[in-house]
Amino acid sequence: MRRLILASASPRRRQLLEMLGLKYELSPADVDESAEGAPREQALLLAGRKAEAAALGRRDGLILAADTLVDVDGQALGKPKDEAEACGMLARLAGSWHLVHTGMCLLDAKTGKSLLKTVTARVRMGDLSAEEIHAYVRSGEPMDKAGAYGIQGLGGSLVEEIEGDYFAVMGLSLFALRSMLKEMGFSVFKL
């Protein structure tokens, strides 16, 4: 059985792999997160960049990397730099629809073969008052999340509706991951 290596420091991605009962090695990749192009393309490019960085010096293992971006009218919202930026992002998202793109890369360090996939979901944020936005930001939860909210935590109470893959909004599409692993000869299900 090949080793699965998660090239991410995200506690949410670790939680999702553990939900599937997958054993993995943690090897966060520190890469330049600036990218050009449409948000969907940026998410995929960054996932690939992270997988390649984690693969350096490795001779085996399946490296999984992902990147999630919020897309508002073609503009990517990543993680906020500070509380003021988080408040601005949330004010922009309040009462409207946006897209969440999660780019995923699965790279076989032995062969160099890689699979790339982007999963997109549509999310409607409910109406939010300035007081609610400030209170949520003060909770600290939005500071390490694309678009300044986490659907799996307190931020889930801000989301009115979602169309698509909930887990992609959380940071890793489980369906796409299972399909990608299967294509690489790695089964999620223990037979």
Residues 6+ apart with CB under 8 A from 146: 68, 69, 70, 77, 78, 79, 100
Q: Judge residue 100's burial from the number of C-beta atoms within 10 Å of its C-beta, 0-12 exposed, 13-18 middle, 19 or more buried.
A: buried
Residue 92: name the closest of 114, 107, 70, 109 by CA. Answer: 70
Helices (H), 21-171: 39-55, 83-93, 130-138, 166-170
Is the Cβ–Cβ distance between 76 and 70 less than 8 Å?
A: yes
Other Cβ atoms less than 10 A from the Cβ of 29: the count is 21
93: which residues sit within 8 A by CB, 6+ positions away?
A: 70, 72, 77, 125, 147, 148, 149
How many angstroms separate the CA atoms of 138 and 124, rounded?
A: 22
Residues marked active site are found at: 67
